[in-house]
Amino acid sequence: MNRLFRSHAPKAAGLLFAAAALAACQPKPQPVSSVSRAALPTMERVALGANACWFKSGDPAFKAYRLAPELNSFSGRPRILLVPRNSPESRPMLVVQAEGNPAKLDAFGPVMNDAVAGRIAADVKRWANGGKGC
């Protein structure tokens, strides 16, 4: 019996090495995000980010506007609006809204034709995905 074990020991060690090498090549499981992808929580994150980074920070690109969140939407599309600072009843200059689960985001309005449009899109995407900061 001892002779049998010695004759198979190198093969067993080789198989163990191959199994360990194969296991190391397997993709690592990705952590599950705790960020809700539903429309309302997504737009809540966007509203908080926009308020902090665009308005409370005193960003000159948004000085002419005020934030008007409309998160309690019965249409299933919570949204935030950028309206003229001195005329909040006027037509919105930017609408960012989400719908569904996972949320489908949409941003439109005259401001999306300005130079700041790329920054708005990047900020909204970052906040919607759970990112913090400006």
Report the chain's mean pLDDT, rounded to a whole number: 83
13 domain-assigned: no
Structural domains in the chain (count): 1
Q: How would you label 34-49 residue by residue, b for 16+ Cβ within 10 Å and e otherwise? A: eeeeebbbbbbbbbeb
72 domain-assigned: yes
43 domain-assigned: yes
71 domain-assigned: yes
Q: Above 80 in pLDDT, residue 58?
A: yes
23 domain-assigned: no
For 2-47, how does the pLDDT look when each residue is reduced to its tens digit (9 = 90+)?
A: 554 455 545 444 444 444 444 444 444 444 456 789 999 999 999 9
108 domain-assigned: yes
16 domain-assigned: no
103 domain-assigned: yes
* Domain span at 124: 39-128
Give the H or E element holding residue 43.
helix 39-50
Record the pTM: 0.73
Tokens of 33: 């995000």
C-alpha closest to that of 97 among 50, 35, 56 = 50
